[in-house]
Amino acid sequence: MQEIYRQCASVLVFRKAESGMEVLLLKKPRKNDAWQLPQGGIEAGEDLITAALRELKEEAGIEAKVFGQSKRVYQYEYPASYRRFRPDNVCGQRIGFIFAQDPSESAVKVDEHEIHDFVWIMPKDLSKYLKRKEYRSLVLSLIQEGEDLLR
């Protein structure tokens, strides 16, 4: 059986704050790499934007206005320790990204199941939350891309 990558969608949500633009991070209930952008699998019949907005609503309880889509894709393979628990041929994830803005400063409400916490942060503070250098670098480049579109 040929191995495949799970197709996923992620959204980088911006909001205006007194000190500049902030971005939303969500915390998964795990020890390592707990903080991330809102994201999840693309379901049958969904496109990237629909899936990303659905995941944002499910995980954070907010709606945001889409203003762009990145050409970047983040693909990675699951570690062997995780793969042995998967009874399928999914070897990793392939994540596409959209950009959205929270114009109404919605109150984030995490689901307490998939997501345990949230934070709005300035891009300069990413390293406090995103420990994996490769992912942090990706998110920083996405922030730059999103900010360029907002100008």
Least confident of 42-46, 74-78, 82-86, 142-146: 82-86
Q: Is the pLDDT of residue 143 over 90?
A: yes
Residue 104 gets which letter from DSSP?
T
User: If we measure between CA atoms, which residue out of 81, 61, 57, 75 comes closest to residue 8?
Assistant: 75
Domains of the chain: 4-150 (3.90.79.10)
pLDDT digits (tens, 9 = 90+) for 2-59: 999 999 999 999 999 888 899 999 999 988 889 999 999 999 999 999 999 999 999 9
Record the pTM: 0.91
What pLDDT is stored for residue 147 in this prediction? 95
d(CA 11, CA 20): 19
Contact 111, 59 (CB under 8 A): yes
